[in-house]
Amino acid sequence: MQKYMSATAIALCLASPALAEGKLNLYVWSESIAPELIETFSREYDVEVSVDGYTSNEDLLTKLQAGASGYDIAVPSQHFLRIMIDEGLVENYGANKLEAYNNIDERWRNQWWDETQEYSIPLAYGTAGFVVNTEEYDGPTDSLKYFLEPDGDLAGRIAMLSYPDEIIGTAQLYLGVPFCSEDPDEMKKVLDLLMAQKEAVAVYSSDNIESRLISGEVATHFWWDGETVRAQSEGAPLTYAMPKEGLVGWLDSMVIPKGAPNRENAIKFIEFISTPENATVEMNHYAHSSPMTVVEEDKKYTKDVAPALYPEVPVEMSRTCSPKAQDLVTRVWTQLLQ
C-alpha cells in the first residue's frame, strides 16, 4: 500500500522526559495511528512516543536497508514484509506468543508473508482502486474499462499514483495477467494498456489526492478504500468503484526493525493497540478495515455507512515478486513515465 499524504515528522512528548521510563519511535504510514491511542499509551506506560511518517513501502524498505534506523515499530504491507523477513531486516519478536495474536481474525493468521506469525501483528487491511467525484462524472464504474480505457467523459481528467505497485496489479487484473508475471509478452500487454491510457491521464501523483478530487481538478483518481471513506464521512461527493474484474488488496502489519533501541516498549505498544477496544478506536480513526477482533457495537464504519470497506468483488492481494518479475514491473513503469 502507498499513501497520498506528505511525509511528516511529529514528536509527541507526552510524558516528562525526566520521568519517562523510556522512549518509543514509530515509523508508520502518515497519520495512520489514532492520536488518542498514542496519548493514552504514553500516559499509562510513562513512555515518550515519537511518530515519523512515510508514504510508500519503498521509502520504508530503503530506510531499513540503510540500517540503524532508530525506529522501534514499522508497518509494511504484506509483500514488503516478506522481503524484510527474507533480508533479515526485522526482529523475530515471538508475535505468536503475544496476547495480540489471539485477537487476530483467524483468516489473517499465519499467511504466506509470515507463515508462523513470529515477526508481525496486523494493523489494517483494505483495497486499492479508482474513486470518482460524482459531481464531475456520473457514468458507470462497475468495470476497470472505464478507468483504464476511458471514453471522452474522462479524457484528460484521470489521475494515477506515482508508484507502480497497485497500478500494475490493477492493469493485470483487467487483462487477466497473473501478478508477478515473468512473461515479457504478458507485461508488454500491461505496458500497451497503460501507454494508451496515458493520453487521458492528467497527472501521476500520490500527493494531495483528496484536494485534487474534491476541487474537480480531476474526475477520477486511483486511491484507497479507507481514504475514500474518510473523505465521504466529511461530505465529499465520492464513490469508490467496485469493478467486476476485482480490486488489489493489501494488509499492513506491525514489525520491529532489527536493532530497535526500545524493543520492549515496542512489544508493549503492539499489545496495547491490539486489544479489541483499542483496535476499534484505531479502525474508527484510520477508516480501514481491522484484521483484529473489534467491539462491533462501537465500530463507526459499518457496511451500511462504508460499503467501500466491504467489497463484494474479487480481491487479489499483492504478491512478493521474483527479481525477474520485479524487473519487468520496473521496466513497464520506467517506459510509461518517460
Contact between 74 and 33 (Cβ < 8 Å): no
Long-range contacts of 258-263 (CB under 8 A, 24+ apart): 258/64, 258/88, 258/89, 258/90, 258/91, 259/67, 259/68, 260/71, 260/72, 260/73, 260/91, 261/23, 261/25, 261/70, 261/72, 262/22, 262/23, 262/24, 262/25, 262/72, 263/72, 263/91, 263/93
The values of phi and psi at residue 149, to 5°, are -130, 65
In which residue are the cell numbers 497519520 written?
31
39 is in an annotated binding site: no
DSSP reduced 3-state for 148: helix
CA quadruple 279, 281, 282, 285: dihedral, nearest 10: 160
Binding residues for spermidine, by number, are: 31
Binding site members: 31
